[in-house]
Structure 1
Amino acid sequence: MNRRNNMTDGRKTIGDNSFYYDLTRRITHDLKAPIRQISQLSEIILEDNADKLDEESLKSLIMMRERASTMAHLVNSVRSLSNAFLRELNMQQIELDCLLEEIEIDSKLPPNLLKIDNAPSIWTDPELFSIFFYNLFQNFFLPLGSGQIENASLKLNEDVHSSLGLMLRIPDFPLEIPNKMSLLELSTFARGDLLQSLAIIESSQLADRLGWKIFLHTNNNNELSMNLYL
């Protein structure tokens, strides 16, 4: 009954936030062309004039190209999250380890990072599940903790009795996050990056629609823990 109520609430949220999602799609659409032009222009300059540039100018141009690429990825992520939120749910029983393996490959994460022994099957929308995890890694965990992600671990939360729980741990995380911070509150840690904040906010909305609860915190050893209750 609780799960059914969560799904109903998710559909209600779509209507309540239709203006917000329409605005998000407009923003991402308007940003695509200038970001693409910046990327193409920097690539042309590098190809034709790299030997004429001093070291500092060359570094700046390469950094501009890389940041344009990051922006383009974030625009696509925000758009995909908006589209995912608005489409109909396709709930089904599916093996958790198969889903995690696909996400690991698509996100280019270290092998076996998302491997769980004796992983159960879960009742979820597999496409939305994958979109959520992919964007969470690509837009927050990898940019902020790319040096520590290789030592991260994912396991079943054995303390949960009423629902399936997952716990992701990342050591030496560069941000201090208070105990039991929600994913929505996490958007304030995006260091002023509007697109990154939007991606995290929409990830939170997507999790809410699927009826998930997510809490994060860092301990005294700077280890990040993300608890996800499906």
Structure 2
Amino acid sequence: ACSDSNNSQKNDYELSESFKVTYLSEMAQVGKSNLKIEITDLDGTPMEGLSPTLSPLMEMSTHNHSTPYGSFTESDEAGIYNATIYYLMASGPEMGTWYLDIGLPYDESVTFQPDVMMAMGETARANLKSQTDTIANMMGGEEKRTYILFNDGLSDGDSGHDFSVFITTKESMMSFPAISAGQILNADSDYELTISSITVAMSTDPSDGDSW
């Protein structure tokens, strides 16, 4: 990895045979984090109209796993691409190392190792466990299927606040898809599940049954 110490942002960059990819995100933390990169050619000309791919991986001493994430979208600024990553855990000596593989044209790629901090302030995510549905675990047995609700943003609205959640589930250690009605989870396996519909209920006073 290379860096530009004259830039106040975290400005690591990696070179492939044809491209220079610069990591522009200022901070990553458990929960929703925005990933911003710049792609230029080796002469510094911004590259527009690309479709870079993203593959996050946490390497740990005991096992590796991925995390929920979205696709890159091209911004209005030439050469700038953005994606959202929902980190499941922080990185560090006692935790593990996050690797972000960025796929580029011509079968080229670069890899970054972001420092991911613990969540600060508001609750970043919550897990819900199915009581009846299971998936395979790493040991060859079964575990309850987990649904993960990420805090996707709280903002002022016209008559209170607007609150969003991003809901994903675990198919395996390497697959955490966002859920949608009609989706088939763990397709063509003993743990296949079709999502017929989705209902999300929220309350500012959980003790009041009528407030949900």
Q: Which gives a bigger RCO, structure 1 or 2 (Cα 8 Å, sep 6+)?
A: 1
Q: TM-score range by the shorter chain?
A: under 0.3
Q: TM-score w.r.t. structure 2 length?
A: 0.26
Which has more strand, going by share of residues? 2
Which has more helix, going by share of residues? 1
Q: TM-score w.r.t. structure 1 length?
A: 0.25
